[in-house]
């Protein structure tokens, strides 16, 4: 009798998850360095393929973020909070620390990552440093897997942070958070305090904040990343590169000699807009050789229509107007613009409780 069944076991590949999380973080910032590897996977034997980029992830985040674009009015529980000296100083700390700017970026990343970790570090008198960490920068060691999504149930949470940058190489170190200790791990395993002069945790809990756009699956600390957006981003970049190669190899006119003589034949056939291809005809009754120009007919209109239809489908799934991604010379009524604006505001409002709780 089997001790377990496959229905009671789930497999998860954290390396794949971390890679996709890092891809989204890079694409959100306009870093398309991962596209070259995607092209080599899709076209392993194709030469002359140029990388072409479409900033879909950036545009998506721009359309749906915005909670912290305008100045945020913060109200505290006490009626006298607006004038009480401690709260006035607290407002000053928020302003000096650029908290709204960090939270705006965290909102943008939350739209594509679905999970973000916020950490607050000391930065001298009157200010702090708030940093947002995507899942690929976080190692979350579970305590009881039944409560895997609860931060305070974790045995430890480790944040990857840059420790050295030299000659284009960035070396990462670690900041380790446990219920009893907090320290920055250096070379040779040295431990540097983060809060105060001791590595002891002065808070009695793990002092991190978790932002969630989606709930994780059972037994996991992180929700899946926005894979529909990622795959569409990759598909558009691959399609743009492929289409440009198609234009380069088929759109120009190819010079040919029809009914060429055997003497005009070559052993190696070279093609291109500045080459002439001899099409040999051994029929003695064939007409005299003549020069002609032929041209392929790449289906560019069909390719463009296909890409646009996929974008429209994606937009419909996210309650977005396709006009924000596809600029066309068509009239849009005021009511249509109002509905689009309302949809965007509703999408933003879904994240307000997340940041209010944080």
Is residue 245 within 8 A of residue 50, CB to CB? The reply is: yes
d(CA 174, CA 27) in angstroms, rounded, equals 24
Place of tokens 């296909």: 306
| CA nearest to 354, candidates 153, 165, 133, 103 | 103
What are the tens digits of pLDDT across the range 222-233?
999 999 999 999
What are the tens digits of pLDDT across the range 51-95?
999 999 999 999 888 888 887 777 765 655 555 666 778 888 888
Q: What mean pLDDT, rounded, does the chain reach?
A: 83
Is a pLDDT exceeding 60 seen at residue 113? yes
Q: How far is CA 358 from CA 36, 95, 180, in A?
A: 38, 17, 22
d(CA 236, CA 284) in angstroms, rounded, equals 52
The pair of structure tokens assigned to 14 is: 């954290």
pLDDT of residue 249: 76
pLDDT of residue 268: 52
> Looking at 266-350, which runs of residues are DSSP E strands?
276-280, 290-295
| CA nearest to 354, candidates 205, 147, 207, 214 | 214
What are the tens digits of pLDDT across the range 273-295?
566 666 666 666 677 666 666 66
What are the tens digits of pLDDT across the range 302-349?
888 888 899 899 888 887 877 777 765 554 555 556 556 666 666 676
pLDDT of residue 304: 87
Q: How far is CA 333 from CA 7, 313, 328, 344, 357, in A?
A: 53, 21, 14, 17, 38
In degrees and rounded to multiples of 5, residue 257 shows phi and psi of -110, 110
Q: How far is CA 225 from CA 25, 63, 350, in A?
A: 11, 18, 17
Record the pTM: 0.80
Structure-model confidence comparison of residues 115 and 74, the more confident one: 115
pLDDT of residue 139: 96
Is a pLDDT exceeding 70 seen at residue 261? no
């Amino acid at each position: 009798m089997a001790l377990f069944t496959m229905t009671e076991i789930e497999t998860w590949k954290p390396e794949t998850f971390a890679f996709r999380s890092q891809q989204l973080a890079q694409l959100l910032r306009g870093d398309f360095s991962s596209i070259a590897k995607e092209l080599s996977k899709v076209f392993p034997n194709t030469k002359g393929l140029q990388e072409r980029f479409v900033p879909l992830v950036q545009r998506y985040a721009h359309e749906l973020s915005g909670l912290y674009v305008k100045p945020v009015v913060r109200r505290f529980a006490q009626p006298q909070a607006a004038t009480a000296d401690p709260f006035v100083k607290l407002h000053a700390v928020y302003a000096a620390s650029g908290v709204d700017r960090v939270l705006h970026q965290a909102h943008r990343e939350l739209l594509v990552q679905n999970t973000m970790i916020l950490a607050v570090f000391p930065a001298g008198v009157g200010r702090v440093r708030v940093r947002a960490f995507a899942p690929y920068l976080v190692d979350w060691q579970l305590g009881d897997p039944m409560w895997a999504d609860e931060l305070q149930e974790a045995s430890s949470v480790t944040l990857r942070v840059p420790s050295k940058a030299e000659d284009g190489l960035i070396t990462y170190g670690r900041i380790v958070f446990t219920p009893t200790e907090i320290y920055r791990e250096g070379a040779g395993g040295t431990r540097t305090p983060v809060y105060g002069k001791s590595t002891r945790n002065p808070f009695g809990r793990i002092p991190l904040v978790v932002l969630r756009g989606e709930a994780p699956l059972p037994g996991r600390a992180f929700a899946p990343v926005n894979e529909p957006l990622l795959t569409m981003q990759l598909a558009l970049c691959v399609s743009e590169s492929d289409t440009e190669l198609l234009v380069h190899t088929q759109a120009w006119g190819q010079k040919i000699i029809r009914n060429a003589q055997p003497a005009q034949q070559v052993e190696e056939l070279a093609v291109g807009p500045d080459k002439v291809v001899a099409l040999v005809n051994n029929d003695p009754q064939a007409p005299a050789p003549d020069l002609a120009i032929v041209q392929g007919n790449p289906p560019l209109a069909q390719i463009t229509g296909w890409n646009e239809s996929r974008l429209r489908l994606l937009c419909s799934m996210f309650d977005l107007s396709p006009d924000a991604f596809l600029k066309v010379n068509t009239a849009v009524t005021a009511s249509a613009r109002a509905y689009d604006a309302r949809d965007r505001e509703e999408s933003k409002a879904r994240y307000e409780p997340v940041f209010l709780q944080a």
